[in-house]
Each structure stands twice: as structure tokens, then as C-alpha cells.
Amino acid sequence: MEDKREENKQVIFSEDLKYMAEDFGIKNQDGVKYALNNCQEVFGYISKAHQEEISNVFQVEKKIVEVLIKLSPALKESIVEYEVICCTGSRCAKNGSMEVLKTVREELGLEFGETSEDGRIRLTSQNCFKRCGEGPNMTINGSFHHRLDKDKARNIIKEIKN
Ligand code: FES
């Protein structure tokens, strides 16, 4: 169970975030603080992308999220804007993900686990998103891109690089 949680942490984080907003109520600052702490616990830092996700789900301005981070010395901010996560599972591989993975790494000039020199883009992988029927899959800031081929992947990566 723990392993599965680790593999799918971005997907699970996004799902949990919705429950947090339901439990605390939208615009609730204690809920936002709870979500920020949860984000740090899961990822070890709070990226720009996660700040945006939290502000969207709780429907609070990004400035409020930024202030709450600054007021809590325990929270660590990261300047990563794009969290790119590629599926390396076997079913996506059967659907042609090897070419997609190669293209994404080449376009970004990064290996899995690396962050771009300017700190804006982090590339990681997960074993399976449980969306195998729609693979090859990749998420960017928690949003899915399905049925990728190398051309689609190249275009998506070019967009976030600019
Ligand atoms: S193998 Fe890629 S989503 Fe399952």
C-alpha cells in the first residue's frame, strides 16, 4: 500500500486536496495551511505549481497562499513551475511509451529525478497511474495527457519550455 502511494503521489495529492477543500470548506485558511503542510510532507517542498493547485482548489488568491508560506518557517518553497511526471509502467510501454519517454527526456535535456537549471521544470516518473487504457500517459502539474506519441509529447514539452 505504501509503495502504491509513493508511485502515485501527485495523483493522490490532487485527490486528497479536493477532500481537504470539502472538509475545511473553500476559502478556509486553516484548510490551506493544512494542504500546504500536506504538500510539504508528500513532496518535501512546495512548488509554484502546487501553490497554484492549492489556490485553485481552495479558491483563494495565490497571494494568500504565498503569505501563508512566508509566515510558516517550517514550509519550504520551490520555484518549480512544471512538475512533469511520465508513466514508466509496462502497459504504457506496450502502447509505445518508450519513444515518448525518450522524446520528453531529450526535449527537456533532463533525466528522471532532475530539475532544469533555471529551476522551472522538474522531471520524474511513476510506475503506473492506473489509467493504462488511455496510455501512454504523462501528467503536468497533476493534469493528464493521454494517448501520447512522440510528436504530441514534443509539442507539449515545447509549450512549457517557452
Ligand atoms: S502503465 Fe501507464 S498508466 Fe498504467
What are the residue boundaries of the structural domains of the chain, listed by start?
2-71, 82-161
Q: Is the beta carbon of 160 within 6 A of some atom in ligand 1?
A: no
Tell how far the Cα of 117 is from the centroid of ligand 1, in angstroms.
Answer: 29
Q: Is the beta carbon of 137 within 6 A of some atom in ligand 1?
A: yes
- Return the residue whose CA atom lies nearest to atom 1 of ligand 1: 89
| Sheet bearing 143-145, strands edge to edge | 114-115, 121-126, 82-87, 138-140, 143-145
CATH homologous superfamily of domain 82-161? Glutaredoxin (3.40.30.10)
Average pLDDT over residues 89-102: 97
Q: What is the DSSP letter of 132?
A: G
pLDDT in the model for residue 3: 43
Q: Is the pLDDT of residue 146 over 60?
A: yes
Confidence category of residue 134, pLDDT binned at 50, 70, 90: very high
pLDDT in the model for residue 48: 85
Q: Is the beta carbon of 91 within 6 A of some atom in ligand 1?
A: yes
Q: Is the beta carbon of 92 within 6 A of some atom in ligand 1?
A: yes
Q: Is the beta carbon of 11 within 6 A of some atom in ligand 1?
A: no
Residue 5 CB neighbours (<10 A) = 12
Q: Could you give the CA distance from residue 76 to residue 109 in angstroms, rounded to a whole number?
A: 26
Q: Is the beta carbon of 93 within 6 A of some atom in ligand 1?
A: no
Angle 39-123-44 (CA atoms, 0-180°, nearest 5)? 25
pLDDT in the model for residue 12: 86
Q: Pick the more confident residue, 76 or 148.
A: 148
Q: Is the pLDDT of residue 97 over 90?
A: yes
Tell how far the Cα of 18 is from the centroid of ligand 1, in angstroms.
Answer: 23
Q: How many percent of the chain have pLDDT more than 70?
A: 96
Q: Pick the more confident residue, 134 or 129.
A: 134
Confidence category of residue 49, pLDDT binned at 50, 70, 90: confident
Give exposure, 54-66, as e/b (b: 16+ Cβ within 10 Å).
bbebbebeeeebe
Q: Is the beta carbon of 132 within 6 A of some atom in ligand 1?
A: yes
Tell how far the Cα of 129 is from the centroid of ligand 1, in angstroms.
Answer: 5
Q: Which atom of ligand 1 is nearest to the CA of 87?
A: 2
